[in-house]
Amino acid sequence: MQIRPINAPDDDFAAWYEVYAAAREADYPGGPHWLERELKVIYEGTEQHGSRLWLAEDGGRAVGAALLGLPLRDNLTLGEPEIYVRPGHWRRGIGSALLQEIEDAAKAAGRTSLLTYLEGPAGAPANSGTAFAEKNGFSRRITEISRVQRPPFDLDAITAAEEAARPYAAGYRIVTWRDNVPDEYLDEYARLQARLSTDAPLGDLEYEAEVWDEARIRTGEARRARMRRGSWNAAAFAPDGSMAGLTVITLSVDSDECGFQDTTIVDPAHRGHRLGLLVKAANVRALLADRPGVQAVWTWNADSNAHMIAINETLGYRVAGWSAGYQKSA
C-alpha cells in the first residue's frame, strides 16, 4: 500500500471521491453528502481555508482517501482531518497509516489540536468512525442531531406557523434573496455570521470566533457559483435597519438531491420575536417556489439547542441521524 499527496484539480480526485462516497454510504446509507464537483471546488482551498489531500493505493487501486483541513484566518492551531477507507479494506491498518500522515502534516503546519466530525444514522450511535477516533485518542466534545425535511412539504402548516408567529414580530421586515448578498446588507451579514460561529452551542469544543468580512463573503459566493450551488437567503430587519436574523439554504443548481440548511441566527438583542421561525419559513417557501422537486434539506443542531429544534420540528424537519465532533490535543 502506498500513500501519496494529490491535489483537488488533478484527475486522481475522481478516485479520492469514489472512496469517500463508498465509505460514507457504508456507515450512513442515504446520508447527506457532497457531489464530486462540489468537493473538488471546496478542496481547492481559499485564503481562509486550506486543504491537503492524500490517496492510498494498493496494486494501483484507490483504497483510502484522507483530508487535512487548515483554517488560515482563525483557529490557526487547529487541523481538521477526515479519513475514508474503501469498504472491504477496513481493519487492515489503512486508516491508521493515513492518520499518521495527517498528524505529521498537521504538526509541521503548527497545528496542536485536531477536530473531526463523524456522522451516522439515528439508531446506530457508534460506527467505524467513532471506534477509530476513540482508539486514536480523540474524545467526543459535542453531539449534534441531524434532521431532514423531505417531500411532501406541508406548505399549509408552514404558513399557519408563520401567521401564528407574525404578531410577535411587529415592526420587523422579512426579506429574501437568491445567491449573492446585496451590497447594502454586507456589513450586517458579516456581523451575524461571525456571531454564529460562537453563539451556537459548542459543547466542549475549543473553537475561536471566525473572522468574517466582505472578502470572505465574496470569496465564498464565487466558490459556491463554481460548485454550481445556489443559495436561498432570508433575513429579518429591525425597525432601526439592523439585521436581526438570518438563514441560508444551499442546493445544487443541477440536482435536487441534497439541500443544506447552512446558517440560522437571531441576534441576541432581538430574540423572543419568533424571528427564527419567520426567516426559516419564508426561506423554505422561496426555495420550494423555485425548486419544487427538492428531495431533502438537511440541518444539524446541538442536542442542547432546544429552541432551534422546536422551530425545525414545526417546519417539518424530522430526526435522521447524528453528527459528533471529536477532538484531540497534541
Ligand X SMILES: CC(C)(COP(=O)(O)OP(=O)(O)OC[C@H]1O[C@@H](n2cnc3c(N)ncnc32)[C@H](O)[C@@H]1OP(=O)(O)O)[C@@H](O)C(=O)NCCC(=O)NCCS
Q: Which residues bind ligand X (CB under 6 A)?
A: 23, 27, 81-85, 90-96, 116, 118, 128-129, 131-132, 135
Gyration radius from the chain CA atoms: 20
Beta strands in 253-296 (DSSP E): 259-266
Which of 122/131 has CB closer to ligand X? 131
Q: Please say which residue, 143 or 305, places its beta carbon nearer to ligand X.
A: 143
C-alpha cell at 90: 477496513
Smallest gap from Cβ 89 to ligand X, in A, equals 7
Least distance in Å: CB of 194 to ligand X? Answer: 28
* Min CB(251)–ligand X separation in Å: 24
Q: How far is the CB of 265 from ligand X (least distance, A)?
A: 28
Work out how close the CB of 133 gets to ligand X at its nearest, in angstroms, rounded to a whole number: 6
Assigned C-alpha cell, 107: 504538526
Considering the complex, what minimum distance in angstroms separates the CB of residue 7 from ligand X? 21
Q: How far is the CB of 319 from ligand X (least distance, A)?
A: 20
Kindly report the number of other CB atoms within 10 A of residue 31's CB atom: 18
Give the end-to-end CA distance of the chain in Å, rounded to a whole number.
27
d(CA 187, CA 309): 28
Q: Which H or E run includes 69?
A: strand 61-71
Cβ-based nearer residue to ligand X, 80 or 188:
80
Instruction: Find where cell 441531524 sits.
Output: 146
Compare residues 135 and 271 and give the one whose CB is closer to ligand X.
135
Cβ proximity to ligand X, 54 vs 132, nearer residue = 132
- Smallest CA-to-CA distance from 169 within 236, 235, 269, 234 is with 236
Other residues' Cβ atoms within 10 Å of the Cβ of residue 282: 21
What's the chain's length in residues? Answer: 330
Which of 129/325 has CB closer to ligand X? 129
Residue with cell 451579514: 189
- b/e 63-88 (16+ beta carbons within 10 angstroms → b): bbbbbbbbbebbbeebbbbbbbbbee
Enumerate the β-bridge partners of residue 298.
Answer: 148, 260
Angle, helices 275-290/306-314, rounded to nearest 10 degrees:
40
- Closest CB to ligand X among 7 and 96? 96
